[in-house]
Chain A
Amino acid sequence: MKARVTVTLKNGVLDPQGKAIEGALKSFGLEGIDSVRQGKVFDIEIATQDKSRAEALLKQACEKLLANLVVENYTVEVLG
């Protein structure tokens, strides 16, 4: 199975990289961009075919390593 884990910064955590990207986009004259927050995407292949087992496994992966829960949130998406 394929899965995608998305890790994003929690609200209120300063994101200087996102700010720099936001500034660059605005400097191109792109209208309507209000703000940018940068995150991470992990594309993961999993051996199991059981969706709920896959989700549980990925949740563990996030909490053990992929996200730092002090400053980051994560979402898990099993793509099938």
Chain B
Amino acid sequence: MRAAVITFPGTNRDGDIARALRMAGAEVIPSWHADHDLPAGTDLVVLPGGFAYGDYMRTGAIAARANIMDAVRAHAARGGYVLGVCNGFQIACEAGLLPGVLMRNAGLKFVCRMQHLRVGRIDTAFTRHYTAGQVIKVCIAHGEGNYVCDDETVMRLEAENRIAFRYCDAHGDVTRENPNGSRHAIAGIYSENLRVLGMMPHPENLVEALVGGTDGQGLFASLAAAG
């Protein structure tokens, strides 16, 4: 698994996610937003968290039009893997890789805390190391994580089983905890071909017991094995 981790001006989780990928056994190639091409042999493109272009205008909007994004769209169209985390999810939506948009949190506050998620399907390259319906504990840190789309889109995401993770309480109840007002408690979604995953929470920060947990490891182990 060769992963290109893209850095935009204002990205700040690129180091964390590169480390999580390397720990899982993936090869990581740092990549730059102004480049026109992805590294040769890229299997996975990672759009990391942060505040690309200062979140100016709309989160992810300017980054979604950066040079490298044409290559990322072509990679996705070829069936390549893309993982967008937090700001990366916002960028992926703005770039048209995923439907919908991430709006200001319903409570208006930046939310930074530990959060339980319920894992959806486990037959994708991102989730094979989890069990169906597993409740994992990772962290969230965002001001614009409120997933919005029209009724038709949300029904389609449900019908096609494309909701990758939902916010939930410690018992897996998805009606109890919704930190940002997202429709259907959506924390992450897949593209139609299940090869693009966008999610607001940060699994890359929960890969070592020393810093509070290892529930994020499953995602990187799954990806590293997806080859």
Contacts and interface: CB of A to CB of B under 8 A. Distances in A.
- For the side of the interface on A, what is the size category? 10 to 19
B57 A20 contact: no
A30 B150 CA distance: 34
A14 B146 contact: yes
A65 B69 CA distance: 14
Contacts of A66: 57
A67 to B, nearest CB: 9
A64 interface: yes
A71 B104 CA distance: 12
B16 to A, nearest CB: 28
B157 interface: no
Given A68-B58, A68-B101, A70-B149, A14 B181 contact: yes
**Which of A20, A65, A68 gathers most chain B CB within 10 Å?**
A68
B103 A65 contact: no
B214 interface: no
Contacts of A40: 57
Contacts of A14: 103, 106, 146, 148, 181
Interface in B95-133: 99-101, 103-108
Interface in A30-51: 40
A29 interface: no
A65 B148 contact: no
B62 interface: yes
B105 A16 contact: yes
A60 interface: no
B65 interface: yes
Interface string A59-75: 00000111010110000
B104 A17 contact: yes
B13 to A, nearest CB: 23
Contact of B65 (A20, A65, A68, A70): A65
Nearest to A10: B150
B151 to A, nearest CB: 10
A17 B108 CA distance: 7
10 contacts: A14-B148, A16-B106, A16-B181, A17-B104, A64-B65, A65-B61, A65-B62, A68-B94, A70-B150, A71-B101
Interface of A: 13-14, 16-17, 20, 40, 64-66, 68, 70-71
Given A14-B181, A66-B57, 18 more contacts: A13-B103, A13-B148, A14-B106, A16-B104, A16-B106, A16-B108, A16-B146, A17-B104, A17-B108, A65-B62, A68-B58, A68-B61, A68-B101, A70-B101, A70-B148, A70-B149, A71-B101, A71-B148
